[in-house]
Chains A and B, each alone.
Chain A
Amino acid sequence: MIRNWMFPIIAGLLVSAFAWQGVLLATPYALMSKAMDVIGARAPANSFAFGALATADNQPIVRPSPDLVYSSCVFDVSKGPVLVDVASVPGHYWSVSIFDARTDVAAVRSDRDTGGKPARLALMKTGQTAPQGYEPVTLQYDRGIALIRILLSSPAEYPVVDAIRRKSTCKQV
């Protein structure tokens, strides 16, 4: 009796281990893909979507901060590098972060890192070359999200900050 069940049980345990690991591995890709779909619906690929302040009625992604202004670009480096130029917002915390399709952060640059100057990043895959003046960010995956965060001290600052952030660009070479 036990011998009859031994190999099926071993097979079941192996399958359970694969299923467990498979779900864990697939979850970030699936959720990131969904986020890219949601954000990608707001602007074409390789261009920034300048989102409104997060509210209970405007939550494109989970756990948004209502104190930050978000601008997001769904990028695709499969056909060439994507250049991200981020306008500096004087007197405010701002950062640009590059997330790959697995949700890993490939790069983060804030006003602290640039000394208040604009950030200029070239997103690319291995074998591509960054144009002069751009900091290369080599990615493991073709697609991902570039996200700019700008902190507002109060919502009254929004019009001024909004005008500045719209100078930021995300474009394919």
Chain B
Amino acid sequence: MKTWHRFAACIALGLVGGAAFAVHQVRGDYADKQVHNGQWSANTNQGTASASALTRAKVALNGLLALPAKEAMYFITRTDSEGRPLEGRCTYTVTGGELDARWWSITLYKGEGWLVKNAANRWSVAGNAPARDAQGNWSFTVSLNPTEGVWLPTGGTPHFDLTLRTYHPRGALLNDPANAKLPTVTRKACA
């Protein structure tokens, strides 16, 4: 093999390998300033000039035009409380207590973050929708078919994620999101 053949082969491999690794990272779970809390993850550095190239690329792909943390914290989960991927054929109960923010909602997305078609034309549950018990706890159901109480349809999409938006977060939600009290997503049954 000639010298230039060796250079050409290595440079071509480097080009493809470097680009492929970048795409893999952008689509993967890791990012700097990524906070994990149970099954939820959030990024505290998005939208800021100090964000790394990887964080900036990930946010551009999965949440373009997202607000910085002091304005809104976004928590995303793609799994239930036992780590199993969220599936559109299954029924889940989402339970939680009061969240220390001005307003919150939980929205169901497929893929990189797209609303799912469903007959009810419902894509999110706002914080004021579920009834509270005496302790301030609430719950709602995520499932393919309608249920009693507050219901968020999966639209039958094979896999989905849930995004918890908290606007004007305060306390642990803003300052210690890894230890803030967040909702739990429990799988009940699968069709």
State A59–B65 Cα separation when bound (angstroms): 13
Determine the chain A residues whose CB is within 8 A of the CB of B23 once the complex forms: 23
Contact B19 A23 (CB under 8 A): yes
Determine the chain B residues whose CB is within 8 A of the CB of A18 once the complex forms: 18
Closest B residue to A14 by beta carbon equals: B14
Contact B109 A20 (CB under 8 A): no
State A158–B59 Cα separation when bound (angstroms): 29
A65-B165 contact in complex given A19-B22, A24-B54, A28-B56, C-beta closer than 8 Å: yes
In this complex, the interface size class of chain A, counting residues with CB under 8 Å from chain B, is 35 or more
Partner of A93, one of B63, B102, B114: B102
Interface presence of A105 (CB below 8 A): yes
Contact A104 B47 (CB under 8 A): yes
Closest A residue to B13 by beta carbon equals: A12
* Interface majority SS (helix, strand, loop, mixed), chain B: mixed
Question: For chains A and B in complex, what number of residue pairs have CB atoms within 8 angstroms?
Answer: 174
Contact B118 A56 (CB under 8 A): yes
Contact A59 B61 (CB under 8 A): no
* Residues of B within 8 A of A (CB-CB), count: 59
Which of B6, B16, B121 is packed against the most chain A CB atoms within 10 Å?
Answer: B6
Interface presence of B11 (CB below 8 A): yes
Nearest CB of B to A121, in Å: 15
Partner of B10, one of A11, A56, A59, A153: A11
Contact A28 B65 (CB under 8 A): no
Closest A residue to B21 by beta carbon equals: A20
Contact A59 B60 (CB under 8 A): no
Interface presence of A32 (CB below 8 A): yes
A103-B59 contact in complex given A66-B123, A95-B71, C-beta closer than 8 Å: yes
Give A62-104 as 1s and 0s: 1 = Cβ < 8 Å from B's Cβ atoms.
Answer: 1111110000000000000000000000000101010100111
Contact B60 A11 (CB under 8 A): no
* A contacts, CB < 8 Å to B: 4-5, 7-9, 11-25, 27-28, 31-32, 35, 54-57, 59, 61-67, 93, 95, 97, 99, 102-105, 108, 110, 112, 145, 147, 151, 153
